[in-house]
Structure 1
Amino acid sequence: MLHVLLVDDEPIVKIALRTMMDWEELGFSICGTASDGIEALALVKELQPDIIITDLKMPNMNGLQLIRELNELEYKGKIIVASNFGEYELVREALLLGAVDYMLKISIKTETLIEQLQKTAKLLKEQQVTLQEQETREQVLRSNLKSVKNTMLKEYFTNPYSEADEVFEHQEIHWNFLNRACYLFYINLEGASLKAAQKISLTLSFIENMILDLIESEQDAEVIQAEAHSILVLIEKERLHLCGFEPQGFAQRIQKLIRMYMTMEPVIVYSPEICGYPEAKEAYAACKDAIDINFYEEHSLICSNDIKLKHDIEFANYVDFSNAILRLLYEEDHVSIARLLTDFVEQAKHNGVHPAALKSFVYKCLDYLPLCDPKLKIKNPEEYEANWSKILECKSSETLLAFTMAALEELRLWTEISSVQNVPVTRKEIAEVVQYIGSRYQDKITLEMIADHVNFSENYLCRVFRDQMGVSLIHYLNTVRMNKAAELIMKGHTYIKEIAALVGIGDQFYFSRMFKKQFGVSPTDYKSHVLASHSQHKQKSFPG
């Protein structure tokens, strides 16, 4: 049970928070309330709450001063601030001081409050785990300095938030590469057999001894198990040259020995000359990035300087690409879809796109496609979800294409049977309507204007359009506008009024309702919803 302290000078706010939900059922209890920061500080010392929800504007001591005082006391819990409209600068300062989240008092909802509390509880749990891990590391330090050194180096290289000053301040440990020139070798054994991979600790010991035997100096090398199937090696520059090796030749020698004695096929990435642990950490990240080129084409030996992968796809956006797929789905032309996807992957390879960016792009397309046309239905949702969920796990471009096509096979179009007999006569006019909407959607076009464009009456146009397209003309126009709006949001546009105007809608509130009706989320939440969906699935696919 996590204890929560409520701090607000308005009794009605505290009453509302108390009655919004069943706190204890959700694992929380309100341990006390206070009307200002002074009262809150006294209760913090007495009750030791895990979470504090505090107002920002209060008499005697406001919320910002309270947070400062709590920081002075090294308060270990988490703080959520409550604010009113217009207090953005206060909220920003509170977050900079250490608050983990904020809520608008005037619009707080039970679901939002529960979500914020659960997120905060998760942070507390992670903090507790981190503290426990830190205690464990300190115990190991007292018993086995070498083991601790390897553990700390692994943490330093694999944790992007680990700082050099925090790691290398331990004087009792001898750090080989504080200010020495060296080379980094990243040995990846992920392709090894399961039986061999299960013996990774033995593998690490064997490779370490093999390297030390080659360079004949324990003080000039570091061998670290970076991840479950990879080993990081640092070797002092002069020592490597003294033993007659250049980085590429040394990597080839290690590769040969591993194949010979361990019957494993390693992939080795080596860096240019670097100096000190901070540069080594950057080189490690570059090597990990470079090895991903094997997604497109297998290489067993790679120089990190030769591979520069981009984390953005600049030559396409997922909305337009999805619409290109959709047009081929209309024609049931799966051969052309496969060709389109294959060409796109080849273009991504040619442009040096990182596989993670490519997989994320395809993942977004498969997420977007079922939403972009009400006629598009999923034949077998479970099968579609199964293939879609595997996109982010793909290890090669071939598997990515296979799972993508398997997912697309589950999409089909449902259209009404046309009741109009002269479809060939009107097809040209309907095509003109579609083209007209595509080029004029940003203007305030009306049904009368569209009908005049093709010289039809409004009623006749609406009937013929529905018969041939399967949806009403107005629905089609709104769908085009909403899809374009979604594209603008994903490109960084944030002002709803501006977006609405850019797609030909003058009333931003009407626009927001239409957008939510099509996508299920508001325009302000759309981008974060898409990114959060991707992030959550990635965490599920790549735990830890």
Structure 2
Amino acid sequence: MLKAVIFDDEYIVLDVIRTIIDWERWELTLVGTATNGIDALDMIKEHKPDIILTDIRMPGLNGLTLIEKLNELVPTAQCVIISGFDEIEYYKKAIQLDVVDYLEKPITVERIEKCLDKMLKKIKRRYEFEDLKRKWNDSQNLIAEKKVLDILNQNVFVEEKWDEVIGIKTDEVTAVTVGLFHSNEKSYHDIAQVVTLSKSISNTKVLLVTNGSMQIIIWLQRGDSNQMSDIFVKLGELNILIGIGSTYSDPRKIKNSYLQAKDAVRMGRFIKDCGIIQFDELNFNHRLPDTLTTLEQNIIFNIRSANSEVVSRLVREFLKDIKHTNLSPDVVNQECLKLIYLGLEVVKETGVEYRWKEEHLIPHREIEKLSTFDDIEKWLQNRFNEMLDWMKQLRNNQKHVSVQTACEYIEQNFSKEISLEEVASIVKMNPSYFSILFKEEVGITYIKYVTKIRIERAKQMLKEGRNISEVSEEVGYFNHRYFSELFKKTTGLTPGQFKKQPKSTFK
């Protein structure tokens, strides 16, 4: 609620205003009163009130001087002067100070409430303007981020697009480096501080771009490319895992640095929990063909679904493709280990610590003992079968209780913007894992379930004769047109048509 204060050197005036106004009705909290200007100023400093009703003549500091200081301390506050003096100079000064009104004593409830209404409307207009301004800025930032992401993901480098988005011509850039990390509120704040420090380096431009749960840092230099070493040292001191791609003198290779940063942060999880992982340190000199990327993704997806049969078949295909590429034994081991560790990352999504059946098993030491390709395949299949059997048993134990908790939370909060990520956090699960578990238990996706709950509640409210726009907002859809389209798609009728039906036909 908004905060209000009253200042007057007459106790009876303070008491009258305090008691005759229904502050709760105006959604105001009266946080204090004062009978002199010094105490009034201290109260302003402490409470930062939104609304001030003040006398002009008070001991210590008069009302007009107090308002001048108020405008410095809380420039958004709205003020009304209450005075027993009818002098033109006071009016002039009050106008200069942009007070909302000037009330002469004796005052009435009607006049004060009229002033309150005027002040609250001004505050509402300011909030609406600030909200509009924020939304505009957010939309511009999203557009700018989308353009940067397009550059990072484009197959063909378009120099005109670079010039438009980055604002530095490619022939002026001497070095480009991309970093990447998975963020939360704390890590984003820490990184932002180092990014700000990066911007202080001469001839350096830094971009911080959001892509889902990932934050991408782009360093562009027009000078000595060795200036970044100190920044990397500071990043390495943070309790965050950050992948850094190679530095290229040609900005047209920015996508290479970006993909390397993704590889670095993904593989870095298997090496350490936090700090800098530079792609160049990983020694990925031999890369599998790009055709295997989709195959690896399919394996991970089916591990998440605990589909043993499909995983087993895909692992055979994976190893078959590796065999045909004539990779060295070291690289074969490296790629098999990568797949095992990616599988372990999926297992972590359950939120429950996984332990191998064989105590103290360390995959990279185990695989080094294997001498033939058949031994490697058998070992890999056994490891995945063990993981998947554990996941199946766990999800059978988790499924009912966790999804039931989630459904109860949805039913209690469906009128709010509740994302899959939010509900997954309530049951302490990874969103991807929770999404699969939810559909298995309920039979429909999370989004469809939320929609079902909302539409059923909307039907009940429409039966009661409630206004359509009011119903739309109360079930969580602030875009009334979208609500109407969704309602018709679900029920076959628009909300208006549904509402007009005879009560005997309501379903």
- On whether the aligned pair clears a TM of 0.5, the verdict is no
TM-score, reference length from structure 1: 0.28
Bigger-Rg structure (1/2): 2
